[in-house]
């Protein structure tokens, strides 16, 4: 990956020197195979335990409070990460992400994930950038779409990247960097870029757009963009739809309402980007540098053989009784409008699971979950 990287300070190319990356002005540590290009790590050797400790969230549970009190001297983080039998969910909880556990556990069938993952259809080659990648769920989908290519995820939070690298997308590459400034990459090194549910949280969207255009040669896919007409949710003031178009004008962008895309997708199991819809939704999707016709007839689904963890399972010989558990009011309302997806109750056979029954796949009852996820 060093051949893609540039120093976030001087913009010079970075060269690998053991567990460091070096340019003309500084050296940056590589921690657990993740370059850390943040100011606090500049010219320092950083252990994985320190990097994880820096990103513990506010204490929201007993374990988190204890962990904060003990770090960094007693090895509590070492104990957490040394458990080779831990799942993604186990380690996320041990590292203080307890408030995110439901989000993580059900992420692979969350409608916002589903609609964004379907957008990846036209991407045929890399390298591909996933800006604001979080715990790597869409980086995993990107690598599944183009398995022999390079997928690079960037996020400010080292803990999320560590979880992504260890559990979710081990074949992808990850960089811990600040996406709100100069991106730590050379000009034009990416074939395409994705920014899902993250662009709203960048303080200078104009600069962020320029950076995405600078480091990519082709398609740009941005999902979950807030629309101020609907009091969109975001850390910073949402932009008007015309402003999003203006930011990416160099790549002939088109805007779509997420609700339009999702409704069509759940009905036909493909995306229809032939013309922007006129529905009402508080979030938007921007597609730039892509001929919308490439989505026509493309099948998003990957055959999985793991039961969706949203179901409680009662075994009855060769049959399994599945009951969808209550997650949250918002989750239930969202799926109440999604016909044919995640039925509340159903009976399946072990043979249907083993054969990856197409209808169960299309209902998101069966998922292609990473190993040791939950």
Q: What is the pLDDT of residues 359-369, one digit of tens each?
A: 999 889 999 99
Per the prediction, the chain carries an average pLDDT of: 86
Return the closest-CA partner of residue 342 out of 355, 327, 350.
327
pLDDT tens readout for residues 274-304:
766 555 567 899 999 988 777 776 666 667 8
The percent of residues above 90 in pLDDT, for the chain, comes to 52
Among 53-57, 188-192, 224-228, top mean pLDDT goes to 188-192
Residue range 112-138: mean pLDDT, rounded: 90
The pLDDT, as a whole number, for residue 166 is 96
CA angle 363, 170, 302 (to 5 degrees): 20
pTM: 0.89
Whether residue 58 is predicted with pLDDT greater than 80 in this model: the reply is no
CA angle 276, 280, 281 (to 5 degrees): 95
Contact between 172 and 139 under an 8 Å Cβ cutoff? The reply is yes
The pLDDT, as a whole number, for residue 338 is 67
The pLDDT, as a whole number, for residue 74 is 39
Q: Where do runs of H (alpha helix) occur along 54-188?
A: 62-70, 76-82, 88-94, 101-105, 111-118, 137-145, 158-163
The pLDDT, as a whole number, for residue 291 is 83
- What Rg, from alpha-carbon coordinates, does the chain have? 21
Tokens of 211: 């950076």
The percent of residues above 70 in pLDDT, for the chain, comes to 86
For the domain with range 107-295, which CATH number is right: 1.10.3720.10, 1.10.1240.10, 3.40.50.150, 1.10.287.1260?
3.40.50.150
Give the residue extent of every domain in the chain: 107-295, 306-367
The pLDDT, as a whole number, for residue 59 is 45
Whether residue 326 is predicted with pLDDT greater than 90 in this model: the reply is no
Contact between 200 and 225 under an 8 Å Cβ cutoff? The reply is yes
The pLDDT, as a whole number, for residue 60 is 44
Cα–Cα distance measured from residue 285 to residue 272, given in angstroms and rounded to the nearest whole number: 13
pLDDT tens readout for residues 136-183:
999 999 988 887 889 999 999 999 999 999 999 999 999 999 998 999
φ/ψ of residue 284, rounded to 5? -125, 160
pLDDT tens readout for residues 345-354:
999 999 999 9
Among 99-108, 118-127, 283-292, 309-318, top mean pLDDT goes to 309-318
Return the closest-CA partner of residue 371 out of 172, 174, 166, 173.
166
Residue range 49-71: mean pLDDT, rounded: 62
Helix (H) or strand (E) holding 39: none
Whether residue 68 is predicted with pLDDT greater than 60 in this model: the reply is no
Return the closest-CA partner of residue 95 out of 107, 80, 84.
80
User: Which residues does 73 contact at the CB level (< 8 Å), separation at least 6?
Assistant: none
The pLDDT, as a whole number, for residue 153 is 98
């Amino acid at each position: 990956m060093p051949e893609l990287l540039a120093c976030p300070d001087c913009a010079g190319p970075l060269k690998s020197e053991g567990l460091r990356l070096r340019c003309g002005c500084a050296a940056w540590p590589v921690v657990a195979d993740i370059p850390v290009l943040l100011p606090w790590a500049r010219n320092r050797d950083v252990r994985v335990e320190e990097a994880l400790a820096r990103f513990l969230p506010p204490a929201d549970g007993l374990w988190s409070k204890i962990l904060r009190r003990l770090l960094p001297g007693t090895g509590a983080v070492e104990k957490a990460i040394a458990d080779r039998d831990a799942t993604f969910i186990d380690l996320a909880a041990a590292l203080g992400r307890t408030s995110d556990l439901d989000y993580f556990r059900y992420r692979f069938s969350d409608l916002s994930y589903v609609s964004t993952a379907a957008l990846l259809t036209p991407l045929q080659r890399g390298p591909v950038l996933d800006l604001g990648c979080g715990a790597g769920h869409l980086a995993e989908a990107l690598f599944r779409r183009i398995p022999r290519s390079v997928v690079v995820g960037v996020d400010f939070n080292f803990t999320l990247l560590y979880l992504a690298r260890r559990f979710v997308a081990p074949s992808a590459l990850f960089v811990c960097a600040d996406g709100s400034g100069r991106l730590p990459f050379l000009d034009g090194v990416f074939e395409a870029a994705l920014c899902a549910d993250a662009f709203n949280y960048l303080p200078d969207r104009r600069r962020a757009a320029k950076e995405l255009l600078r480091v990519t040669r082709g398609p740009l896919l941005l999902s979950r963009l807030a629309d101020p007409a609907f009091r969109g949710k975001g850390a910073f003031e949402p932009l008007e739809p015309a402003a999003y178009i203006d930011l990416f004008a160099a790549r002939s962008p088109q805007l779509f309402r997420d609700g339009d895309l999702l409704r069509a997708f759940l009905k036909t199991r493909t995306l229809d980007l032939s013309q922007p819809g006129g529905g009402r939704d508080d979030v938007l999707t921007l597609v730039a540098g892509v001929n919308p016709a490439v989505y026509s007839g493309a099948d998003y689904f990957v055959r999985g053989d793991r039961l969706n963890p949203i179901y409680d399972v009662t075994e009855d010989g060769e049959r399994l009784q599945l009951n969808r558990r209550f997650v949250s009011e918002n989750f239930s309302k969202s799926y109440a409008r999604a016909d044919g997806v995640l039925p509340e109750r159903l009976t399946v056979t072990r043979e249907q699971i083993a054969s990856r029954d197409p209808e169960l796949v299309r209902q998101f009852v069966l998922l292609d979950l990473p190993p040791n996820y939950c």
